[in-house]
Structure 1
Amino acid sequence: MLFDTHAHYDDDWFDTDREALLASMPAHNVGLIVNPGCTVETSETAIRLAETHDFMYAAVGIHPEYSMGVTQADIDRIRELSAHPKVKAIGEIGLDYYWEKRSPETTPPREKQKQLLRAQLELAREVGLPVIIHDRDAHEDCLNIVKEYDDLRGVYHCYSGSLETAQEILKLGWYLSFTGVITYGKAKKARHIIEHLPMDRIMIETDSPYLTPEPERLQAKRVRNSSLFVHRVAERIAEFQGLTVEEVERITTENGKRFFAID
């Protein structure tokens, strides 16, 4: 069955039908889901969802978007949450420079983001968990920082960097995860990267409720993404790698289970 390694079912877009939707996943060939937190509160929600559904697991962490105002008490709470048996990673954490020019007044300064990233990487090292990295328009800084923690295991979620950066990440023994973005018409760069990656380092995800794949994305202006569409990512990777969809399903599920230490 398919493994959606990154989906945000704590998002309020799922408030009207969350439980019914999640209950339907096994019947739609989705066997495993990891829900990462982006704040202390959403990390707590991710754990509650994982407790409710056997096939769900959680990651806990603070997204760089929320770097301002983070206290030591917040980091301590993430540490406490990380001890839960269904928590499989610290994340999502990282750097995000995308909004600097679009909304500079609300974008956390780079140094604040870097400080929070390092604090959570230190935490991951302390508690012995892998990390889920968010890197948006911050490729050089993010890679330089994670290289300081080359003893950790990690995955770059929704990978958007270059092939050269991907190769540097692979040298660390890390993984790359891809979303429905690779199904878009202009995804030539993603195809070039995926064609050159070893399949044993690739995972698939939806980043639900965002990044709805095609053709669902083309059906309406705003279509909510969910794990029901993760098969679209597997189909496109199969095309890029010259494999069957079944092979990609099996390999990416094995990769995800190995990375998150799920039996």
Structure 2
Amino acid sequence: MMDLHCHVDLYPDHDKVLKDIDSSGIYVLSVTTVPSAFRGTVALTNKLNNCRTALGLHPQLAHQRYNELSLFDSLCDGTRYIGEIGLDGSKGYAEHMEVQQVVFEHILNKCCEFNDKILTVHSLNAVDKVLELLSVYPKAGRPILHWFLATKKQVDRAVELRCYFSIGPAMLHSARAKKIISWLPKDRVLLETDGPFAKVKGKILFPSDVIEVVNYLSMQWNTSADAVQYQLKINLKTLLT
């Protein structure tokens, strides 16, 4: 199994999340929110063979940290994984959309210099613009749309753009999110937690909690949990190769 969107460095108890990753054996992508956090997060998880660190600049921080783009550029060849990146059109952030777009396009353009990047992308209340920019920069890498809330038409467009979709336990507590999950092609589904920000019944999610999604997909797909895990394994392998 995997957790392809987890803010390992932002857990209040690092020892607890690192132990969870180690003991579960789950493949974890530790995303960062600013380039200046990248090296420290790599150091935090460097003893874990099943954890990789992504280089990111979160859209909610773009207007404050756009001056870190040069640092992003200097670090970009040090990891295959890029995230968290994207756009956020929700209240309090829509007013900064112009600088968010400058930052997102800069990152996508930089990633076009490589041929193997995996992108974990935030698109809250900005789905159409995110998809438009991913279509403009098709060589930037393979996008994983994190916690994707969209219309059926937008899902279909994302599939056309060869996107993957990471879904987490917190999404299972939303009727809207479950409807969207039902639209996703089985061969594009991956798992995430978005811990420690995402919670279920007030409890912070840890990577091992992705089993809840496996059990849900088992019911939705009318197959065994083992079959779901096998499909997810194939999806991850295809993404990475």
Which range moves more in the overlay, 54-63 or 245-254? 245-254
Report how far residue 20 of structure 1 moved.
Answer: 4.5
Identity of aligned residues (%): 20
1:175-186 residue pairs with structure 2 within 5 A? 175-184=164-173, 186=174
Alignment of 1:73-112 (within 5 A): 74-84=68-78, 87-100=79-92, 109-112=96-99
2:41 corresponds to which residue? 46
Partner of 1:137: 125
Amino acid at match of 1:38: T
Instruction: Quote the offset at 1:12 in angstroms.
Output: 4.4
Deviations 1:66-107 (A, max 9, x none): 1124355x22322332322xx23211111112233xxx6xx6
CA contact (8 A) 1:38 1:92 kept: yes
Does the aligned pair in 2 maintain the 1:159–1:176 contact within 8 Å?
A: yes
Name the aligned partner's letter for residue 125 of structure 2: D
* Aligned residue in 2 for 1:231: 211
Equivalents in 2 of 1:191, 1:125: separation in Å? 33
Instruction: Describe the SS at the equivalent of 2:8.
Output: coil
Distance 1:69 1:191 in 2: 34
Kindly state the Cα deviation for residue 4 of structure 1 after the two structures are TM-superposed: 0.8
More helix by share: 2
Aligned residue pairs, count: 239
Structure 1 gap segments, 5+ residues each: none
Confirm or deny that 1:147 pairs with 2:135. yes
User: Which residue is 2:148 aligned to?
Assistant: 159
Q: Kindly indicate whether the alpha-carbon contact (under 8 Å) linking 2:32 and 2:38 is maintained by their aligned counterparts in 1.
A: yes
Map of 1:179-218 to 2, 5 A cutoff? Answer: 179-184=168-173, 186-187=174-175, 189-212=176-199, 217-218=200-201
What letter corresponds to residue 125 of structure 1 in structure 2? C
Contact 2:18 2:45 (8 Å CA) reproduced: no
SS of alignment partner, residue 57 of structure 1: strand
Separation in 1, partners of 2:16, 2:203: 18
The answer for the alignment partner of 2:163 in structure 1 is: 174
Aligned partner of residue 6 in structure 1, secondary structure: strand
Say if 1:99 and 1:257 are closer, same or farther in 2 by CA, change over 3 A. Answer: farther
- Matches of 1:250 and 1:64 in 2, distance apart? 33
What letter matches 2:160 in structure 1?
K
Q: TM-score, normalised by structure 1?
A: 0.82
- Matched residue, 1:117: 104
Q: In the TM superposition, what is the alpha-carbon distance from 1:54 to its structure 2 partner?
A: 0.7
Contact 1:66/1:108 (CA < 8 Å) preserved in 2? Answer: no
In the alignment, structure 1 residue 66 sits paired with structure 2 residue 97: no
In the alignment, the residues of structure 2 paired with residue 95 and residue 157 of structure 1 have an alpha-carbon distance, to the nearest angstrom, of: 12
CA distance in 2, matches of 1:69, 1:196: 36
Change (3 A) 1:45 1:242: farther
TM-score, normalization: structure 2? 0.89
1:200 is displaced (CA, Å) by 1.1
SS of the residue 2:27 aligns to: strand
CA RMSD of aligned residues (A): 2.1
Q: CA deviation at 1:24?
A: 3.9
